[in-house]
Each structure stands twice: as C-alpha cells, then as structure tokens.
Structure 1
Amino acid sequence: MFKLLLIEDDSSLFDEIQDRLSQWSFDVAGISNFSHVMEEFISVKPDLVIIDIQLPKFDGFHWCRMIRSQSNVPIIFLSSRDHPTDMVMSMQLGADDFVQKPFHFEILIAKIQAILRRTYNYNSEPSSQRKWCGATLDFEQNMVSNELGSVELTKNESFILRLLIHQKNKIVSRDDLMNRLWDDKRFISDNTLTVNVNRLRKRLDEIGLGQYIQTKVGQGYLALDEEKNYDS
C-alpha cells in the first residue's frame, strides 16, 4: 500500500479526497499543524505528496522547496489557481504534475498511478531470474524450479507472481494487480484475476510453494518469504 501525504487545508475536500483514494488502497495522511509541515512530512515518510498552493502560514511553493531540499519524493500540485505562471513555477520547483480544481477523481487517480509506476517498483522490469523460498524463478521462460521439480506458468500467472515477489511480504491490492495487468495490455477482469491467482497457487503447490502465496480477504494478495510465518 502506497502512503500519500495530502497537504490540503480545506477539511471537507481533504475528507473527500482521502475517502476516494482509500478506495484505491492508498493510505492518505494529512497535516495537523501547517506551521510544521516538514516535521509531519518526515514523520509520515510518504511515497507521494499532493499539495495545494494556497495554505495557511506558507504557500505550497514554499513547502515544495523545503521538501525538494531533502527528498525526491513525487509531488503533485492540486490548486484552483489556473494562471500559467503557477504551473510553470510548480514544474520549476520540481513538482511532477499539476491538477487544477475542480477535477475528476479518475484523472487524479490516473496521474497518481502513472507517477508511482514511473518512480518506484514499476519504473523498470525486475531481472528475468529471481530467487524466492529456495526456488529459482525464470520469468523469461515462465518457470519455477526447486529441488522438488519444476512447474511452467502461464504468462498471466508468471506476471502476477513477478508483481507479488517484487513486493514480497507486502499486500498488493486487487486493484493494483488488475491495473498493472490492464496497463500491460493483458486485459484481465476481477473474476479472471481470482482464477489466475488460484491456478498459480495450485501450480506452486506441486513444488511445495503454494502456501507462500496468501489471500488477504478484502485487501489483496502477498508473497511471503520462506522464513516468514504464514496463516493457514
């Protein structure tokens, strides 16, 4: 789950944005004291910052400068101000995007997802081979092998396993998996995702690894390390 810091002083708008983004499995934190934004930024350690321009005490440009002096975290400006100089200033200060109010949530979510993909674990494909739970995963050949044998996965199963392994011990939401599969032009539906994960687990059961792919009801899936405990 990615953590976002929303620096917005309009409480009703903050609540609405937080509610909508939480439906996409984002953990959204806010600012309790606008005189100490940097202290709260350091405490939250967000993966992405969304910031308004017009704020109490100091404007969003000031806090963008302060954040950029310490971090390369992605920043999206969210503002009702539409003057071109505001957008130019945002980019010059190191912001990654500018969304004008009022806005469609679908656009904001799409921009957030695109920036997160570019910045974090989706900015480059993992190596074609990985080690996991004593097994060798060959994503080019879609094979998983250990001392008990080898199993061949479908392309979708291999792609899902790659995403889960890349964030092992962390829950990957169903929405995130489907967005990645759709973004990769694999066009997978919610029901098809369930079928693929179940089939992946059964294939891994053949070499004693199925137990390390877990379903977290209402949240998503995760791949555990061999040394981690797991729920039955």
Structure 2
Amino acid sequence: MYRILMIEDDPKISSILSEYLTRYEYQVELIKQFDQIKDEFIRLSPDLVLLDINLPYYDGFYWCRQIRSISNVPVIFISARTDEMNQVMAVENGGDDYITKPFHLDVVIAKMKSVLRRTYGEYALNSFQQPTFDISGLFLYQEKHEMAWKDQKVSLTNKEYRLIHKLAEKVERIVTRDDLLEALWDDLDFVDDNTLTVNVTRLRKRLADIGIYDAIQTVRGQGYRLLVNWKSSS
C-alpha cells in the first residue's frame, strides 16, 4: 500500500480526494500544520506527495524545494493556477507532474499510477534502487523503508526503519538504549522503553520474514547490537 501525503488547505477538496484515494487502497496522510510541512514529510515518509501551490505561510514551490533537498519522492502539483508559467515553475522547482483544478478524480488516479510505476515499478530508474546500507548482503532502502535479503523483501514502518538504520550505522557495535530512543522520538508519539522493546521485537520479526535470524543482539543493561554473522534460512 502506497502512502500518499496530501498538502491541501481546502478541507472540501482534501476530504473528497482522500476518500476517493482510500477506496483505491492508498494510505492518505493530510497535513494540518502548514508551517511544518518538511518535518511532517520526514515523519510520515510518504511514497508520493500531492501538493497545492496556494498554501498558508509558504507556497507549494517553496515546499517542493524543501522536499527535494532531502528526497526524490515524486511530487504532483494540484492547483487552480492554469497558466503555463506556473506549470513551468512547478517542473523547475522539482515537480513530476501538474494537474489543474477542477480535476476529474480518475485523472488524478491515472497520473498517480503512472508516476508510481515510473518511480517504484519495473520502469524505475536505477537511482531509486540504490541501497542506503549493504550489511553483508542485507540491503536497506531509505526511500521506500524496505529491507531486502537475497530474493526476499519486506516493508518497514517509520519506527522500524529508524531503528534498523541506527543499528546499521554502528554494525557490530553497541547502540545504547538512549540513542535508540532518541532515534525513535517524534513530536506526536510518546516513546519509552516499552516502545523500544516492542519495535525491536517487530524488527526481529521482519528480519525473520526475509530469512534472517539472531541478527539483533541484546546487550543487557546497555542496548542492542546488529551482528553480521546471523543465521539464515538459506
């Protein structure tokens, strides 16, 4: 299921479009804090962004540049501005496509499918396939929050990916519980020792799903360590 971040300040449009996309089994996230869009983007880690131009505080061109400074996630502008200059500016500021309002819902779906297929499907560019980490053949992909081992691949939640990313930065070395708690922290969810324990358990399950066992070692009273001499099912 692809996660779509909708940056639209008109509640009627966002409600209609969100309901329609959900019917097509997309997970839709709505921006509520329009002065913190970059932070929300980082927290939610979407697969695609639907972005209006006329927004409070800063316009969509500004926020597209902010997103492009940290990610290559596809961005589709949806705007009431129909002139060619704004469409040119959308592309120059990092947009992948442009839809004018009023729009037909099926057109939005078709353009989304096309961009998602180019980005993540069989026609994806190699740049999107480059792993962030390669730990003895275990590949981590930050753009999609995925892990891959041989011919197996699994998607991770935001917290699961933050956890494995932090451990991967110090392979074979102890990462303290405090450091891991800091990596999991965000402004919306309360994070404590139980949260960390739960996410370590889930991450171990995700590793087992792709055939890797005993890769995360508990170091009593200190933290956890990612090992490379794990057991595998193949």
Class of the TM-score when normalised by the shorter of the 2 chains: 0.5 to 0.7
Equivalent runs, 1:178-217 vs 2, <5 Å? none
Moved over 4 A (4+): 166-170, 224-228
In the TM superposition, what is the alpha-carbon distance from 1:169 to its structure 2 partner?
5.0
In the TM superposition, what is the alpha-carbon distance from 1:121 to its structure 2 partner?
3.1
Equivalent runs, 1:10-159 vs 2, <5 Å? 10-123=10-123
Contact (CA 8 Å) 2:152, 2:210: kept in 1 or not? no
Deviations 1:181-227 (A, max 9, x none): xxxxxxxxxxxxxxxxxxxxxxxxxxxxxxxxxxxxxxxxxxx6567
In the TM superposition, what is the alpha-carbon distance from 1:47 to its structure 2 partner?
0.6
In the TM superposition, what is the alpha-carbon distance from 1:37 to its structure 2 partner?
0.6
RCO comparison, higher one (Cα < 8 Å, 6+): 1
**Match of 1:22, as an amino acid?**
T
Distance (whole Å) between structure 1 residues aligned to residue 45 and residue 212 of structure 2: 27
Distance (whole Å) between structure 1 residues aligned to residue 152 and residue 95 of structure 2: 26
Contact (CA 8 Å) 1:116, 1:122: kept in 2 or not? no
In the TM superposition, what is the alpha-carbon distance from 1:107 to its structure 2 partner?
0.7
Contact (CA 8 Å) 1:5, 1:50: kept in 2 or not? yes
RMSD: 2.5
Contact (CA 8 Å) 1:9, 1:55: kept in 2 or not? yes
**Match of 1:25, as an amino acid?**
E
Contact (CA 8 Å) 2:4, 2:50: kept in 1 or not? yes
Secondary structure of residue in 1 paired with 2:72? coil
1:5 matched residue in structure 2: 5
Distance (whole Å) between structure 1 residues aligned to residue 10 and residue 102 of structure 2: 13
Structure 2 gaps, min length 5: 126-150, 156-208, 214-234
Structure 2 CA distance for partners of 1:103 and 1:65, relative to 1, 3 Å: same
TM-score normalised to the size of structure 1? 0.55
**Match of 2:118, as an amino acid?**
R
Secondary structure of residue in 2 paired with 1:102? coil
Q: How many residues align?
A: 138
Give aligned-pair identity as a percent.
42
**Match of 2:32, as an amino acid?**
S
TM-score normalised to the size of structure 2? 0.54
Structure 1 gaps, min length 5: 126-165, 171-223
1:156 matched residue in structure 2: none
